[in-house]
Amino acid sequence: MIITEQKSEEALFAFLGKARKIVLLGCSECATFCKTGGAEQLLEFEKKLGPLGVEVLARLVLEPACNAYRVRLALQKGGKGIGEILARAEAVLCFSCGDGVQTVARLTGQLEYACQIPVYPGNDTLFLGEIVRADDYVEACRACGNCELGWTGGICPTTQCAKGLLNGPCGGSKGRMCEVNGDEECAWLRIYDRLEILDQLDNLLEIRPPRDYMKDVHPRRHSARGQEAGT
């Protein structure tokens, strides 16, 4: 899941500037789970805008904000789209992850009636994470494009080691704790212990080559179109 955090009210009000008629967008997936861009959060934010004299023309939770096709339908004039209302807005505030904001910004930019409306991010996108318990998230995968979990006992050195080392611990642990994140156990000590239990310590004897950053040239793109099943 993509973990997000709402920007400060100060920052959001600053984005709006002199805009007095705005549209609030949210996202039905990650941002709803994170309580940063669900229906409730949009309503709460609208309440804060009243005293400032800002009118919310529409609140809409996109389903989801990262699906270009569905966002296009949601923003169109006619059908179930909010195009007619959007056309009167002076700004859009989008409470999704950074992907959703860009999807909305790009698509409004293509609409004749909305291309002059700025789209602002309501959230900061933090990381790709796992839900530990309600409202508590931890990063586990950096989406590096070269999954190393097969030889590390299921613990990701790229993400869990503050230095992203691939050949073992750095010597910077204090006791068993990481020198960088004092609350975290050294990932490499955890990997060592796990592989010992799995009887796979030999995995650690092999020198791992420097990471291949060819898959890390941004923006990345992946298309599975045209791939036949089983190939």
Partner 1 sequence: MSMLREVLRINRFAVTAEFAPPKGTDMDHMRVCVRLAKGRIHAANVTDFQSAVMRISSLTACKVVMDEGVEPVIQITGRDRNRIAIQGELLSAGVLGIKNLLAVTGDHPRMGDHPNAKPVYDLDSVGILQAATTFMSGTDLEGNNLNGRIEFFLGGAVSPTRETMMPQILKMRKKIAAGAKFFQTQAVFDLDLLREFRSRTATLDASVLAGIVLLKSANMARFMNRNIPGVSIPDAVVGRLDRFTGREQMNEGIRLAGELIRTVRSEGLADGIHIMAVGAEERVGQILDEAGL
Tell me which residues touch partner 1 (CB under 8 A): 162-176, 179-180, 186, 188-189, 192, 201, 204-205, 207-211, 213
CB of 188 to partner 1, least distance (A): 6
DSSP three-state, residue 70:
helix
CB of 189 to partner 1, least distance (A): 6
The residue (of 78 and 209) whose beta carbon lies closer to partner 1 is: 209
The residue (of 108 and 160) whose beta carbon lies closer to partner 1 is: 160
The residue (of 92 and 204) whose beta carbon lies closer to partner 1 is: 204
Give the C-alpha separation, 23 to 61, whole Å: 11
Q: Quote the DSSP letter at residue 141.
A: -
The residue (of 118 and 145) whose beta carbon lies closer to partner 1 is: 145
Kind of pairing between the strands at 21-27 and 123-133: unpaired
CB of 150 to partner 1, least distance (A): 19
Give the C-alpha separation, 160 to 102, whole Å: 29
CB of 210 to partner 1, least distance (A): 5
Nearest one of 213, 97, 71 to 146, comparing CA atoms: 213
The residue (of 71 and 166) whose beta carbon lies closer to partner 1 is: 166
DSSP three-state, residue 55:
strand
